[in-house]
C-alpha cells in the first residue's frame, strides 16, 4: 500500500498527508467503460465514508485518487475523458453526491478541506458540474461557502468559467450575489461579469429578475448575519465595501435602489426571527426558481 493512501472500495483510495503532494499519471488513454463503471460504483461508497475519514485526518491534506494498473488518476481525469463520456453521463448523480459529501464533511469539522495547496476537496468536481449544467450552479455556490476564500487560489478562475459557460441566468445571478456577499475573496474582481453585457442589462429584460435579485441579496445578508441577527444589516453592507451598491459591479443606475430594497427585506426577515426566537431554516438559495 502506498504510504498515506487508504483503500476505500474498488479503484478508489483516499489519501491524507501533511504536504499536499500526491502521485498522478500523465497518460489517461487507458480508461475504459468497465473501469469507469467500477469507479462510480466505488465513489458512492467513498462519499458515505468521507466525513468519518476527514474527521479522523483533520489538519491534513485530504484527497481522492483512482488506481488503475499501478497508475494513479484524479476524478477530473476520469470525468474529462471523452472516451467514457457515456459512463460519466449516466453517473452524474454520483458526482453530485460526492460534492454534497465534501460539503457535509466540511461543515462537520467546521473548516475548509484542502486536498493540496491550491484546491479544496471537491473543487474540480463542483466546478466541472456547474460548467456542464446550469442546474448544478446552486450546488457549486453551496460548495464555495465551505471554502477558505480568504486564502483562495484558483477559485476565481472556476467562478469565471462557470459564468462564461452560461452567461446571465437566475443561477449565475445568485453566483454573483454569493461572490460579493458570503463568498467574497482575495480575487473578487476577476470574474467575467465585469464586461458587457452587464447584470443590469439582463435584469431590465424581465421585471421579475430585479425582485429575485432583491430576495437573493437579502437572503445572503441573513446568511452572513445568522451568527447574530441583532447585528445591523446595514453594517454588513458597509463591511463588504458597499459592493452590492457599487455600479461598477454591473447594476448601474439600479444599484442603490436594489441594495436599499434588499436591506429593507433583510431587516424584516431578521426582525421576524428575533421576535419568534427562531433561526432561518432554509438555505438562502431556496428562492431560486426550479428552471
pTM passes above 0.85: yes
DSSP assignment of 208-274 equals: HHHHHHHHHHHHHHHHHHTT-TTS-HHHHHHHTTTGGG-GGGTTGGGHHHHHHHHHHHHHHHHHHHH
Q: How far apart are CA 209 and CA 215, in angstroms?
A: 10
Question: Which is nearest to 9 in space by CA: 49, 36, 69?
Answer: 49
The C-alpha cell that represents 243 in the structure block: 459592493
pLDDT in tens, the chain (291 residues): 577 899 999 999 999 988 766 666 656 566 888 999 999 999 999 999 999 999 999 989 999 999 988 888 899 888 887 677 888 999 999 999 999 999 999 999 999 999 988 889 999 999 999 999 999 999 999 999 999 887 777 888 899 999 999 999 999 999 999 998 889 877 655 566 777 888 999 999 999 999 999 999 999 999 988 878 888 877 777 666 556 666 667 788 888 889 889 999 999 999 998 899 888 888 999 999 974
Task: Answer positive or negative: Cα dihedral of 154, 160, 161, 162.
Answer: positive
- Among 112, 111, 81, 92, smallest CA distance to 43 is for 92
What is the Cα–Cα distance from 195 to 40, expressed in whole angstroms? Answer: 39
Cα angle: 110, vertex 112, 117; to 5 degrees? 155
DSSP H or E run through 66: strand 61-68
Eight-class DSSP state of 10 = T
Q: DSSP character for 122?
A: T
Q: Which neighbouring-strand residues pair with 65?
A: 13
Residue 157 φ/ψ, nearest 5 degrees: -65, -40
Q: CA nearest 102: which of 112, 89, 116, 92?
A: 112
Q: Which of 216, 160, 221, 220 is nearest to 187 (CA)?
A: 160
Q: Which three cell numbers stand for residue 194?
A: 465585469
* Ramachandran angles phi, psi of 7, nearest 5°: -70, 130
Collapse the DSSP code of 9 into the 3-class scheme (helix H, G, I; strand E, B; otherwise coil) and give the result: strand
- Could you tell me the three cell numbers for 60? 491534513
Amino acid at each position: 500500500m502506498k504510504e498515506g493512501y487508504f483503500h476505500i472500495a474498488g479503484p478508489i483510495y483516499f489519501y491524507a498527508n501533511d504536504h499536499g503532494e500526491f502521485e498522478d499519471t500523465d497518460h489517461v488513454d487507458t480508461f475504459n467503460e468497465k473501469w469507469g463503471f467500477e469507479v462510480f460504483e466505488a465513489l458512492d461508497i467513498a462519499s458515505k465514508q468521507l466525513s468519518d475519514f476527514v474527521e479522523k485526518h483533520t489538519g491534513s491534506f485530504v484527497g481522492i485518487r483512482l488506481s488503475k494498473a499501478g497508475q494513479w488518476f484524479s476524478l477530473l481525469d476520469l470525468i474529462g475523458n471523452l472516451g467514457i463520456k457515456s459512463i460519466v453521463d449516466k453517473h452524474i448523480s454520483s458526482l453530485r453526491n460526492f460534492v454534497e459529501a465534501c460539503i457535509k464533511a466540511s461543515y462537520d469539522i467546521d473548516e475548509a478541506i484542502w486536498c493540496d495547496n491550491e484546491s479544496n476537496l471537491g473543487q474540480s468536481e463542483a466546478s466541472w458540474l456547474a460548467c456542464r449544467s446550469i442546474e448544478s450552479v446552486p450546488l457549486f455556490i453551496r460548495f464555495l461557502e465551505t471554502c477558505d476564500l480568504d486564502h483562495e487560489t484558483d477559485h476565481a478562475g472556476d467562478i469565471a468559467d462557470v459564468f462564461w459557460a452560461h452567461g446571465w441566468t437566475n443561477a449565475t445571478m445568485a453566483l454573483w450575489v454569493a461572490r460579493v456577499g458570503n463568498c467574497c475573496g482575495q480575487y473578487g474582481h476577476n470574474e467575467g461579469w465585469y464586461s458587457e453585457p452587464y447584470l443590469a442589462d439582463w435584469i431590465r429584460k424581465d421585471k421579475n429578475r430585479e425582485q429575485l435579485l432583491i430576495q437573493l441579496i437579502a437572503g445572503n445578508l441573513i446568511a452572513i448575519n445568522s451568527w447574530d441577527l441583532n447585528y445591523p444589516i446595514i453594517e454588513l453592507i458597509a463591511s463588504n465595501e458597499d459592493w452590492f451598491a457599487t455600479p461598477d459591479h454591473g447594476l448601474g443606475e439600479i444599484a442603490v435602489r436594489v441594495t436599499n430594497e434588499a436591506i429593507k427585506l433583510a431587516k424584516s426577515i431578521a426582525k421576524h426571527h428575533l421576535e419568534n426566537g427562531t433561526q432561518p431554516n432554509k438555505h438562502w438559495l431556496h428562492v431560486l426558481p426550479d428552471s
